[in-house]
Amino acid sequence: MRLKDKIALITGVSSGIGMETAILFAKEGAKIIGVDMNDQAGKKIIEQINIAGGTAAYFHADVSQASETKAMVGFAEETYGALHILFNNAGIMHGDDGDAMSTEESIFDLTMAVNVKGVFFGCKYGIPALQRAGGGSIINTASFVALLGAATPQLAYTASKGAVLSMTRELAVTHARENIRVNALCPGPLRTELLMKFLNSEEKRQRRLVHIPMGRFGKAKEMAKSALFLASDESSYMTGTEFLVDGGITAAYVTPS
């Protein structure tokens, strides 16, 4: 087992990447703290892990709130005695997110609160726990749009993921000598509920698909396997990276004629 005796905290556990990662990490021997605001769906995943023979506990938290993020880290240490893996995965992509002219300030602020402050608070309170454990791995979910503009305008989301990538790099440098690795998982377009709600028409989906050399959306399970690599000792010499898992989109992003 690649994560035997590790304690992993995963935000956004109720669906998509978070759900698949929690299930996979548990199979690989980690004890899971699953965090979400959707208690019904989040608890269902945790129950599924426990029924399958894994070890998992659920905690309700809004990651945009400092007190709740601090409490989730405290819960992890109180429940399992330590924290070794922190996956700051929770995020939003609002349906009213567009270009600079159409995006309301409230949508921009909400996106930044969850996607950027959520990662900041996770690291603010999670890093001391990793220090107490003697080190560990932090994975922050960014996106390919942290490196490229999106064909379908989503300015707040794109800006937020650029901030996540920048934070990841600086934190990696700051804590590299403490046996704490910090990497950004940068997925390409995925067939998840989050993206499909945003790309809510066939025209929008084809507009995105046309740029992907593999010709398909990625799967949350594929991102979970990538997160497993970043969480495990197999990536022990990796920190501060933009770990792109994107179907080739950043290698061949062109506007079709």
- Residue range 186-197, pLDDT digits in tens: 998 887 776 767
Place of tokens 């506990």: 57
Comparing 3-17, 34-48, 240-254, the range with the smallest average pLDDT is 240-254
* Sequence letter at residue 212: I
* Rounded Cα gap, residues 119 and 114, in angstroms: 8
Active site residues: 157
Within 10 A of 161 (CB to CB), how many other CB atoms are there? 29
Percent of the chain surpassing pLDDT 90:
81
Give percent of the chain with pLDDT exceeding 70: 93
3-state helix, strand, coil in the chain (%, to 5): 50, 15, 35
**DSSP state at residue 93:** -
pLDDT tens sequence across 50-105: 999 999 999 999 999 999 999 999 999 999 999 999 999 999 999 899 999 999 99
Listed in sequence order, the DSSP H helices in the chain are 16-27, 39-51, 66-80, 105-112, 118-132, 155-175, 193-198, 202-209, 220-231
Mean pLDDT confidence for 36-47: 98
Amino acid 101: pLDDT? 97
pLDDT score of 254 more than 80:
no
Q: Give me the chain's average pLDDT, please.
A: 93
**What pLDDT score was predicted for residue 167?**
98
DSSP 250: G
**pLDDT digits 0-9 by tens, 214-253:** 888 899 999 999 999 999 999 999 999 999 999 998 888 6
Rounded average pLDDT over 199-204:
68
CA gap 85, 115 in Å, rounded = 19
Q: How confident is the model at residue 257 (pLDDT cuts 50, 70, 90)?
A: very low
**Fold of the 7-189+219-243 domain:** Rossmann fold (3.40.50)
Residue whose C-alpha is closest to residue 45's, from 93, 76, 12, 77: 12
pLDDT for 134: 98
pLDDT of residue 202: 66
Three-state SS at 239: coil
In this structure, the strands spanning 55-60 and 85-88 are: unpaired
213 pLDDT band (50/70/90 cuts)? Answer: confident
Whether 223 and 190 have beta carbons less than 8 Å apart is answered as yes
Structure confidence at residue 95 (pLDDT): 87
CA separation, residue 184 to residues 77, 98, 230 (Å): 24, 24, 9
Got the DSSP string for 103-130? Answer: S-HHHHHHHHIIIIIHHHHHHHHHHHHH
Q: Is 124's pLDDT higher than 70?
A: yes
Phi-psi region of 56 (alpha: psi -120 to 50; beta: other; left: phi over 0): beta
What per-residue confidence (pLDDT) applies to 51? 98
Can you give the pLDDT at residue 193? 72
Q: Which of 139, 117, 3, 6 is nearest to 70 (CA)?
A: 117
